[in-house]
Amino acid sequence: MLQPVGKLLLFGATGDLAQRMLLPSLFALHADGLLPKGLTITGTARSDHDDSGFRAFARHSLEEFLPDDLKDDSVVESFLQRLDYQPLDASTLEGFDALKQKLGDISNGMAIFLSTAPWLFGPTIQGLQSAGLAGENVRIGLEKPLGRDLDSSREINDLVAAAFPEDRTFRIDHYLGKETVQNILALRFGNSLFEPVWNAQGIDHVQITVSETVGLEGRAGFYNDTGALRDMVQNHMLQLVALIAMEPPARFDGTAIRDEKVKVLRSLRKIEGADTAQLTVTGQYGGGAVKGQIVRDYATDLEKPSNTETFVAIKAHVDNWRWHGVPFYLRTGKRLAERRSEIVVQFKPVPHSIFAERGGSLKPNTLVIRLQPEEYVRLLVMAKQPGLDREGVRLREVPLNLSLENEFAGTRRRIAYERLLLDLIEGDPTLFVRRDEVEAQWEWVDGIRKGWETQDTKPKPYASGSWGPSASVALTERDGVTWNE
């Protein structure tokens, strides 16, 4: 692991991500005394601020996005003293020398958080190099999107690798910073209960759902060029598949965990050509009602016709011994019935029911790992209903709940970027995505997209406020499986 750094450089420091996530996360770390003493935070963007202007901007962001229980004027003031600012047009080399002068001595190391349009990656890296801001004591964190297909991703990775070797490159997937996602590892590898049945002998299928109730929400241009498959499946959802399906790593460190994840991603069965019609479903939201509010269709929101998918469902397989024959059902979409991110692990039924002759009906055990909006782990098990059983045995499915909010009520819930920013500053790569992972994800997703193109697949309409096209129900129902709703 690398050493903690003395400076943090934030590109895109006046953008939406910085306002909503980065500045509040850094403040929370400062308030808890977790940032290195003396760490300075330099923001840069095209906006024409000076230091005091950026501090005023940051203060306003904290007032708007910090929870009330974290607001403390004296702590806010001490945090703002860490901040300074240098305006920069990253598309040219001209301003990088001034940025270097603003940063001053970086001999104690620097971490860069780069959140910018993909076309600016090359000029930004070149500018950092030209100004001597890419030395051995500098590391870089890269916010997605990292390309739109395998070729463009490799191009970006090559540009970054020219200045920053892999051990100093931290690719960010904010889902990996979520507490419940990390609990997948604790659940699997910290309990003897699950691992013996965590395979094709014990598990019937796995479902992963990431559903949103919002539409474009100011991201029209980006989203229409991206679509649900690139926006959610290629990164967040495939990372969840990897964590659920990976073999036990030898130790809890960045190399061992990422070695096992990439094995899963390379074992994903290719979905190409005519197979896409049988194993995938695409959709685009129409008009409807979400949470009682009438909403418009995608084309009206976009203000032009489009074939971009706002929904995708996939039946995937991991072709290895552990998961032979176990389907992984993935679905994600916008303007769906509710906001939810969850993993559902459906175990196989018991081989023989001793209760059938007495009228007892059994259901297979189900493990639900909810990532948002609530955070919990719920195991559904069978129990006998109280009674004398004169008319037969009555069995009922009951939940064993682990609510993180209740069980750890005295511990403040942290947003994902707090952990990821602190790990970037301290140099811990465990929760960041390695290049071979990213490229394995793109290779699989590109096969699906190419299949859609060759088959001339158009997204099916679905009503806003529903769970997507009816074809997504058929995708699972023909296997005797129902989506967890």
Q: Is the distance from CB of 404 to CB of 388 less than 8 angstroms? A: no
* CATH superfamily to which 7-143 belongs: NAD(P)-binding Rossmann-like Domain (3.40.50.720)
Q: Is the distance from CB of 249 to CB of 256 less than 8 angstroms? A: yes
Name the phi and psi angles at 435, rounded to 5.
-60, -45
Pairing status of strand 7-11 against strand 40-45: parallel
Buried b (16+ CB within 10 A) or exposed e, 401-410: ebebeeeeee
DSSP code of 466?
B
Positions at the binding site for NADP(+): 46, 144
CA angle 216, 221, 224 (to 5 degrees): 70
User: What pLDDT is stored for residue 390 in this prediction?
Assistant: 60
- Token code pair at residue 108: 């104690």
Q: Which of 131, 127, 79 is nearest to 100 (CA)?
A: 131
The structure tokens 């929904």 sit at: 311
- DSSP secondary structure string for all residues of 11-63: ETTTSHHIIIIIHHHHHHHHHTT-SPTT-EEEEEESS---HHHHHHHHHHHHH
Evaluate if pTM is beyond 0.95. Answer: no
Q: Is the distance from CB of 45 to CB of 13 less than 8 angstroms? A: yes
Q: Is the distance from CB of 424 to CB of 170 less than 8 angstroms? A: yes
- DSSP secondary structure string for all residues of 135-163: STTEEEEEESP--SSHHHHHHHHHHHHTT
User: What pLDDT is stored for residue 411 in this prediction?
Assistant: 65
In the chain, what are the domain boundaries? 7-143, 176-414+459-478
Gap between the terminal Cα atoms of the chain: 42
CATH topology match: 7-143 vs 176-414+459-478: no
As a whole number of angstroms, the distance between CA 448 and CA 238 comes to 14
- In what helix (H) or strand (E) does residue 440 lie, and over which residues does it extend? helix 435-454
- Token code pair at residue 221: 């241009």
Q: CATH says 176-414+459-478 is which class?
A: alpha beta
Total count of residues recorded for the chain:
485
Q: Looking at the annotation, which residues are catalytic?
A: 236
User: What pLDDT is stored for residue 272 in this prediction?
Assistant: 94
- pLDDT values of the chain reduced to their tens digit, one per residue, 485 residues: 678 889 999 999 999 999 999 999 999 999 999 999 999 999 999 999 999 999 999 999 999 999 888 888 999 999 999 999 999 999 999 999 999 999 999 999 999 999 888 788 889 999 999 999 999 999 999 998 888 999 999 999 999 999 999 999 999 999 898 888 888 998 999 989 888 999 999 999 999 999 999 998 877 888 999 999 999 999 999 999 999 999 999 999 999 999 999 999 999 999 999 999 999 999 999 999 988 889 999 999 999 999 999 999 999 999 999 999 999 999 999 999 999 999 999 999 888 876 666 656 678 889 999 998 888 889 888 677 777 666 667 777 788 887 766 666 566 778 889 999 999 999 999 999 999 999 999 999 999 999 999 999 999 999 999 999 999 999 999 999 999 98
User: What pLDDT is stored for residue 396 in this prediction?
Assistant: 72
CA angle 189, 398, 343 (to 5 degrees): 45
As a whole number of angstroms, the distance between CA 339 and CA 332 comes to 10
Buried b (16+ CB within 10 A) or exposed e, 58-75: bbebbeeebeeeeeeeeb
